[in-house]
Amino acid sequence: MAETGQITARQRAILTAVIESYIETGEPVGSKTIARLQGREVSGVSSATIRNEMAELSDAGLLEQPHTSAGRIPTAKAFRIYVEQLSARTHPRIDGKHLTEHSRRQIDSSFVGIAGTSAVLERTSHVLATLSSGVGVAMASAAEGDLLEHVHFSRLAAASVLAVVVTRSGMVRDRVLTLDRDLTLVELNTAANFLNEHFRGWSVEQVRSELARLVERERSEYQRLVNSVQQLWSKAVPSSGTPMPSVYVEGVANLVGSNVDGERLREMLAALEAKQRLVGLLNAYIDARQESVRVIFDLEEQAPQMAGLVLIAAPATLAGESRGTIGVIGTPRMDYENTMNAVSYLSRVFDRMLPSPEES
């Protein structure tokens, strides 16, 4: 009986062929199908020999037979071995540079005209969903400790203002504010200049605390300005206690066509729609310090509703610093090599799209 870590080169080739055939068709794979393939270790091997090897792989817990007369499908253990093989340092196939030229052009053209961390992450989730036929997920780093770079206010109408807050990490927040009283264009420009002159390089929470202190201290005409600045800042960057990272999810409908029963599908979709659960899931498995793509099969350990799904994810970086996490959630029948390479390529999208903190 073959052990999981002791399968032969031919058995490994057969296992790879079964997995790739199953990913492509979704159907159990028989020995005759494998015999028709022209892989180096498989070519010329009879169906009977392949059938015996597949039986060994079944005994090792790598293949299973859904029906007595059917072919075999890979188990979770088999998918893990397949991914480890793709990522092996001796024959590395996972790196953004291995993504096809067509896919790279498709990705790069999708980001034309996109600027700012939020917009880049939102577009990233869409691109990953399109490329993988899974669920694209992108999460910005928590705003805690992020430093103010620039703020601008534009008057839209009476008591209505567009606020644009840019942070050192490249995060751009734009929000339409409804004010308690109307502010003139001069007042808005004065407020923006006050914030940019006094608080550039401060964390958003430090700005909030200092403005509150100034309001308490000042009892002069200066207070009118401070009051206006505080109102604009509190509405532009509302406090929510512990900052909740922005999460972008695209392609949930891609799971609807997966081979999952209705009740399980509803549980999966509900879990994907709960952004807080996704934040916890990504934080549990993806370390901002890691430099490679990670594939996780046991999502149910963190979120039982995610049983049967796979996460392929990596930190998104700018000049070596994490700006968030991106990934794909899908069924085990994903195109692992293409999806892992796409995640790897997109994990460095900020280096191509945004200036580094030193340049900004």
359 compared with 326, residue with greater pLDDT: 326
Average pLDDT over residues 42-50: 77
Cα separation, 349 vs 120, in Å, equals 8
Tokens of 249: 């999810």
The model's confidence at residue 355, banded by pLDDT at 50, 70 and 90, is: low
Cα separation, 256 vs 5, in Å, equals 35
Other CB atoms closer than 10 Å to residue 84's CB: what's the count?
10
Average pLDDT over residues 350-359: 59
Assess if CATH 3.30.450.40 describes domain 96-142+245-353: yes
pLDDT for 92 equals 62
Tokens of 104: 């790279």
Inform me whether the pLDDT recorded for 179 exceeds 90: no
**How far, in whole angstroms, is CA 219 from its chain's centroid?**
49
For residues 77 and 62, the answer to whether their CB atoms sit within 8 Å is yes
pLDDT for 193 equals 93
For residues 144 and 169, the answer to whether their CB atoms sit within 8 Å is no
pLDDT for 260 equals 64
307 compared with 117, residue with greater pLDDT: 307
pLDDT for 140 equals 80
pLDDT for 221 equals 59
Q: How is residue 146 annotated by DSSP?
A: -
Domain made up of 4-87: CATH architecture: Orthogonal Bundle (1.10)
Average pLDDT over residues 193-222: 79
Tens of pLDDT, residue by residue over 1-27, are 455 557 888 898 899 999 999 988 888
166: helix, strand or coil: strand
Residue with tokens 């200036």: 355
Tens of pLDDT, residue by residue over 246-283, are 788 888 878 776 666 667 777 777 777 777 778 888 88
Average pLDDT over residues 118-142: 86
Q: Which amino acid is at 331?
A: T
Inform me whether the pLDDT recorded for 196 exceeds 80: yes
pLDDT for 353 equals 67
Lowest pLDDT segment from 60-74, 144-158, 238-252, 315-329: 238-252
Tens of pLDDT, residue by residue over 206-219, are 888 888 878 777 65
The model's confidence at residue 57, banded by pLDDT at 50, 70 and 90, is: very high
- For the chain, percent of residues with pLDDT exceeding 90: 16
Q: Which amino acid is at 18?
A: V
259 compared with 341, residue with greater pLDDT: 341
Tokens of 82: 């397949």
CA dihedral 328, 332, 336, 339 (to 10 degrees): -20
Contacts of 127 (CB under 8 A, 6+ apart): 107, 110, 111, 136, 342, 346
Q: Is 1 exposed, middle or buried (0-12, 13-18, 19+ CB in 10 A)?
A: exposed
- Which residues make beta-bridge pairs with 314? 326
The model's confidence at residue 242, banded by pLDDT at 50, 70 and 90, is: very low
Lowest pLDDT segment from 26-40, 57-71, 117-131: 26-40
Beta strands in the chain (DSSP E): 63-64, 73-74, 135-140, 148-157, 160-167, 172-178, 247-250, 294-296, 310-318, 321-330
Cα separation, 224 vs 215, in Å, equals 9
Average pLDDT over residues 192-221: 80
Average pLDDT over residues 17-39: 84
pLDDT for 78 equals 93
- For the chain, percent of residues with pLDDT exceeding 70: 83
pLDDT for 39 equals 57
Cα separation, 114 vs 105, in Å, equals 15
Region of 241 on the Ramachandran plot (φ > 0 left; ψ -120 to 50 alpha; else beta): left
Residue closest to 74 by CA, chosen among 87, 60, 85: 60
Inform me whether the pLDDT recorded for 201 exceeds 80: yes
Q: Looking at the domain 148-236, which fold is it? A: Enolase-like; domain 1 (3.30.390)
What residue ranges do the domains of the chain occupy? 4-87, 96-142+245-353, 148-236
Average pLDDT over residues 84-89: 76
